[in-house]
Homo-oligomer: A and B are copies of this chain.
């Protein structure tokens, strides 16, 4: 049996136990993990230092080194996160819509864990703990494949997670760690339909595309965010300015930040100069369509590629549009169907935008930065799905469950 198959098989075997485990025991594990992360911080930090040192040696960017680096405060944050997941309600076992059929069969849908979930992610070691905790609470076994830059940190965190499991007497195989940088192992995991039920890839375009192309197992993609704010000519321009600046600059490196601003031609000449002043204050460089370039002399012209690009940086492309139709068409054509906002006081246009923009989250008069599990009241999230199937937008505990039809009979036949 190959290494990958062995991981998958053990994960599924452990899952059958986990799928029916009571909530109290699951919470006990999460609390044990919260304590243990703090107790074992020296060990975790020592292992993390190895990754950071190797990362610096191999020339990783400062941004990546920052994502990779742990500190006492960050470990404390992980522990708090785990405890807050313990405090969330357990979605497993709830039965919806139980009804009696004419033949007296009782039929309903029970929320059940999905199974064994393979999570593939990049440099941030805190994903290891978050993803395990969310999947575990919702009764799912995890197979974790983090970025090779974080392998020492992840190995240490998995060790601590397994210590917490063993402390409570739960099978350590409910979490599996892909402890290799050999890519053929990942390739094999992507096709182990018999043992793995779902793959969640989190990361850059290359990773997501690779997984979608090679997996035979269902995938929920957490893809890029090419998000927009559309400033209508019926907008309150002060609100529009505040929303655009917030959505671009409050945290430019995340998926719910905007990349493109669309503005109605009726207000372009009033709005864009004040936008430029504010964006200058935040060191945002602007790129514009032909019309925008005429209003904002000196800014760089945007190319066709710009409209598709997730900068994740202090860059904003600007397009002047004739009307809301052109705005909606632009968003549906070039966007990534993540988060998009209209700023307007026109009710009919607001409702049209809500209905016609094909995105996971659609906003009227608010910043796109709110697309987040905690902000939306899910408690925590494993990420933001850009797929339309199963879960769209922030994925919390509920979205980590499947359903099962349960049927109580008294000997009924058809």
Contact = CB atoms under 8 A, between A and B. Distances in A.
Given A332-B16, A367-B413, A377-B99, A405 B213 contact: no
A405 B361 contact: yes
A370 B101 CA distance: 11
Contact of A107 (B377, B402, B405): B377
Contact of A414 (B246, B358, B365, B405): B246
A266 B242 CA distance: 74
Given A388-B115, A388-B198, A392-B404, A409 B361 contact: no
For chain A, the bracket of interface size reads 35 or more
A389 B354 contact: no
B101 A358 contact: no
Question: Which among A110, A197, A356, A370 has the greatest number of chain B C-beta atoms within 10 A?
Answer: A370
Task: Please state the number of chain copies in the assembly.
Answer: 2
A366 B216 contact: no
Contacts of A219: 218
A362 to B, nearest CB: 6
Given A107-B376, A213-B216, A239-B411, 10 more contacts: A101-B375, A101-B376, A198-B389, A218-B389, A364-B409, A365-B412, A367-B414, A371-B405, A389-B402, A394-B405
10 contacts: A16-B332, A101-B377, A105-B366, A250-B414, A354-B406, A361-B405, A361-B406, A366-B413, A367-B409, A393-B403
